[in-house]
Amino acid sequence: MAGRLSRLLVPFAFLTGAWAPLLADEAEWQRQMDIALQSAARQNYAASETAFTAAIRELEMSNPNDHRLGPTINNLGLVYRAANNLPQAEAAFRRAMTYIEKTNSPQSIDVGNSSLNVGSVLIAEGKYNQAEPFLQKALGIYQKQFGDRSPKTGTVLAQIGEMYRGLHDYDTAEATLKKAIDVQEAASGIDNADVGNTLRSLAEVYAARNMMDKAEPRFKLVMTIREATAGMESQEFVDAAERYAQILEKMGRFQEAERHKKLAAAIRSMKKGQTPLQVDTPQQPKAAPAPGAKASAFARLH
């Protein structure tokens, strides 16, 4: 389940702490945890929330200092986040952090993950000014524990770049997002969902500055990545196609924009069980890298 739910919640982080049996009624706590995890895997978030809440209550009744409280409350926050219940996710992540910081060293991975969870949900809520200390704390821990080039470091850099974009500090956002893409691509390759997310943020930075010559090829590459990672029939690809069409319209490339709009509409119709529209699928060839060069996100933009 952790793999499935973690994919839903990227870049939100599960905690690594082990749960040693400490309860008198261990069977009931484990039963509730099993229900919570299985329900989350089926995306039945209401049932998962109920079971996680019961599991937390078992811990609190038996031992309010139980070291499993932090991770369990954190996972409840992940369920709220997956259900897009952001205020309750924030509250759960903050509450979890108080327990996690008490039972772990300041530079532990669990503290880093908890900090990232709080910072990321604050960004999702548009609370950019509040997010920075949590994200910077996570960044410091990840750099110390994993190094500057680790996927975890790339994840938090991407969130920091998104934070600066929300604060309209576009120069800092651009530099940070470029660094995040470099780290993420080196770790996972170009056709990776995280790279697509960060590249979209960078493209939005250029769009906000009306730098369409830089924004357009990046939005186009986001479409290519979405197709490779989620499939052409996915909501992610549809959203990317529609956003690319908007950029093309702003550039006066109306025929190309219309083709992408029709493609997105056809996919939506097909997903609803309606007869799909007949459209010419826009071609998105991958540019060949220079001889001997790595086919990076930036190499493929030109």
Counting the structural domains of the chain, the total is 2
CATH classification of the domain holding 109: 1.25.40.10
Q: For 86-119, what is each residue's pLDDT tens digit? A: 999 999 999 999 999 999 999 999 999 999 999 9
Higher local confidence (pLDDT), 71 or 15: 71
Mean pLDDT of the chain: 86
Q: For 229-248, what is each residue's pLDDT tens digit? A: 999 999 999 999 999 999 99
pLDDT bucket at 227, cuts 50 / 70 / 90: very high
202 plus 286 within the same structural domain: yes
Does 219 map to a domain? Answer: yes
Query: Among 103, 124, 145, where does a domain finish?
Result: 124
Does 151 map to a domain? Answer: no
Does 245 map to a domain? Answer: yes
Does 159 map to a domain? Answer: no
Q: Six-digit token pair at 135? A: 């994200």
Angle, CA 280 vertex, CA 261 and CA 211 arms, to 5°:
45
190 plus 297 within the same structural domain: yes
Does 162 map to a domain? Answer: no
Q: For 25-65, what is each residue's pLDDT tens digit? A: 678 889 999 999 999 999 999 999 999 999 999 999 888 88
**Which is nearest to 184 in space by CA: 270, 13, 103, 298?**
298
pLDDT bucket at 277, cuts 50 / 70 / 90: very low
For 76-111, the three-class secondary structure string (H helix, E strand, C coil) is HHHHHHHCCCHHHHHHHHHHHHHHHHHHCCCCCHHH
**Which is nearest to 89 in space by CA: 116, 51, 128, 54?**
116
Mean pLDDT for the stretch of residues 178-193: 95
Q: Given this model, what pLDDT does residue 245 score?
A: 96
Whole-angstrom distance, CA of residue 65 vs CA of residue 52? 17
Residue 140 has pLDDT above 70, yes or no: yes
Does 48 map to a domain? Answer: yes
Domain that holds residue 285: 184-302
Q: Please say whether the beta carbons of 111 and 133 come within 8 A.
A: no
115 plus 3 within the same structural domain: yes
Query: Among 124, 143, 163, where does a domain finish?
Result: 124
Longest Cα–Cα distance in the chain: 69
Does 222 map to a domain? Answer: yes
Q: What is the pTM of this model?
A: 0.82
CA 99 to chain CA centroid, nearest Å: 24
Helices 45-62 and 69-82, packing angle to 10 deg: 160
20 plus 120 within the same structural domain: yes
Does 97 map to a domain? Answer: yes
Q: Given this model, what pLDDT does residue 181 score?
A: 97
